[in-house]
Amino acid sequence: MRVLSVVGARPQFVKAVAVSQQLEGDHEELLVHTGQHYDAELSEVFFDELALPEPAYHLGVGSAPHAAQTAEMMTELERIVDAESPDVVLVYGDTNSTLAGALVAAKSSPLLAHVEAGLRSHDRSMPEETNRRLTDHCSDVLFAPGPHAKRTLEAEGISENVYVPGDVMYDTLLQIRERLGGGPTGEPAVPDEYVLATVHRAKNTDDRERLAGIVDALTRLATPVVFPAHPRTVDSLHEHGLWEQLTADVRVIDPVSYTEFIELVEGAHCVATDSGGVQKEAFYLDTPCVTLRDATEWTETVDAGWNELVGATPERIVDAVRAAENPPSKPDLYGNGNAAARIVTHLEHHVG
């Protein structure tokens, strides 16, 4: 089986690791890195640290408006698909890289498979919501991380070739967790108790009022805050005149490696984030999560009491972080860490 895997952003690298391991040996995988994440700590470090195969193609697209970025990816991906004739084009998640790969595959002969299908925030202002909906509706094989996502697909009329293997990100995290211990080696020691914050979504970084609300909340917390800052977020903080306010009370650090970040999540009193992937990582690592968004695609974590949606209102953020604690129980929502093996088995069946 010849598989063309399209990745371009941090969460996709984490997910692709587990599937690549299962493809290795019996199948041929061609990895395409679109270059959507271009900072070394958000991109190249994953190939070294997680032993992700070197990309057969690196498109180097970088940052650009949605239409321009997606169009450039599609142009290059169409050329690659024509040249390589894969049996399967495999896409992950909900980024512009996902949509570009999906549209190219849907207009050509390879089977299109979507890992992490069926997720919905029902917030159409999020570009990711459009990407995931369009990708699901043009996919041939859909891999939902949990039963709720499968039911969502069924409600939208997608019932054939839908499988629930679990979450491949959990596969990778279990492998990494075995190596944890000793603290984040690339950074100075963090406080014994701290809140871990991440902010990168355009809805928060491009809107000064929302970003100011988040900064206000983080600087009002009594517990120290550790903030690995996305390059775009740093630019926005400077642009909106919020950098000095934040750094006066919050420890802002450079992006860290995946292992270091997982250690930060596991050691935190609470995570405050607008990232979908970090919401799950907090859940897996038994760390309460406060989500700086008005809606989430990981609704099960909210229903289970491990995640609270607070938007960008300072008072709600501060109150939620102060009250954060582990619920008395945690349900098994996204499988047992064998999702990648199940995905490859289903692909083998469909390719024949």
- What is the pLDDT, as a whole number, of residue 58? 94
Residue 106, C-beta contacts closer than 8 angstroms, at least 6 positions apart:
112, 138, 139
- Residues 235-255: pLDDT tens digits? 999 999 999 999 999 999 998
Q: Determine the average pLDDT of the residues in 307-336.
A: 97
Q: Is residue 157 part of a domain?
A: yes
Q: Is residue 184 part of a domain?
A: no
User: What's the rounded Cα separation, in Å, for the pair 228 and 178?
Assistant: 23
- Residues 114-153: pLDDT tens digits? 999 999 999 998 999 999 999 999 999 999 999 999 999 9
- Residues 6-57: pLDDT tens digits? 999 888 999 999 999 999 999 999 999 999 765 555 556 667 777 788 899 9
Active site residue 240: no
pLDDT exceeds 70 at position 181:
no
- What is the pLDDT, as a whole number, of residue 123? 92
Is 117 found in the same domain as 17?
yes
Is 276 found in the same domain as 153?
no
Q: Is residue 179 part of a domain?
A: no
Is 18 found in the same domain as 161?
yes
Mean pLDDT value across the chain: 93
Is 79 found in the same domain as 154?
yes
pLDDT exceeds 50 at position 185:
no
Is 17 found in the same domain as 155?
yes
Q: What DSSP assignment string belongs to 255-288?
A: ---HHHHHHHHHH-SEEEE--HHHHHHHHHTT--
Q: Which of 37, 114, 200, 230 is catalytic?
A: 200
Looking at the chain, which runs of residues are DSSP E strands? Answer: 2-7, 28-33, 57-58, 88-92, 111-115, 141-143, 162-163, 195-198, 225-228, 251-253, 270-273, 289-291, 307-309
Distance of CA 13 to the CA centre of its chain: 9
pLDDT exceeds 80 at position 102:
yes
Q: Is residue 175 part of a domain?
A: no
- What is the pLDDT, as a whole number, of residue 271? 98
Q: Determine the average pLDDT of the residues in 163-185.
A: 81
Residue 124, C-beta contacts closer than 8 angstroms, at least 6 positions apart:
130
- What is the pLDDT, as a whole number, of residue 49? 79
- What is the pLDDT, as a whole number, of residue 141? 98
**CATH (domain of 58):** 3.40.50.2000
Is 147 found in the same domain as 8?
yes
Q: Is residue 236 part of a domain?
A: yes
Is 77 found in the same domain as 23?
yes
User: What's the rounded Cα separation, in Å, for the pair 76 and 65?
Assistant: 17
Is 139 found in the same domain as 55?
yes
* Contact in structure between 122 and 295 (CB atoms under 8 Å): yes
pLDDT exceeds 60 at position 108:
yes
Q: Is residue 12 part of a domain?
A: yes
pLDDT exceeds 50 at position 184:
no
Q: What is the 3-state composition of the chain as percent helix, strand, coil, each rounded to the nearest 5?
A: 45, 15, 40
- What is the pLDDT, as a whole number, of residue 79? 98
- Residues 268-321: pLDDT tens digits? 999 999 999 999 999 999 999 999 999 999 999 999 999 999 999 999 999 999
Q: What would you measure as the largest C-alpha separation in the chain, in angstroms? A: 59
Task: Supply the pTM of this predicted model.
Answer: 0.92
Is 237 found in the same domain as 147?
no
Is 160 found in the same domain as 214?
no
Is 344 found in the same domain as 266?
no
- What is the pLDDT, as a whole number, of residue 38? 57
| Structure token pair of residue 176 | 């990494």
Say how many domains are in the chain. Answer: 2
Q: Is residue 177 part of a domain?
A: no
- Residues 67-79: pLDDT tens digits? 999 999 999 999 9
User: Which phi and psi angles does 334 have, rounded to 5°?
Assistant: -130, 35
pLDDT exceeds 90 at position 328:
yes
pLDDT exceeds 90 at position 227:
yes
Is 343 found in the same domain as 284?
no
* Contact in structure between 227 and 19 (CB atoms under 8 Å): no
Q: Is residue 89 part of a domain?
A: yes
**Domain region containing 297:** 195-323
User: What's the rounded Cα separation, in Å, for the pair 27 and 70?
Assistant: 28
**Radius of gyration, CA atoms only, the chain:** 20
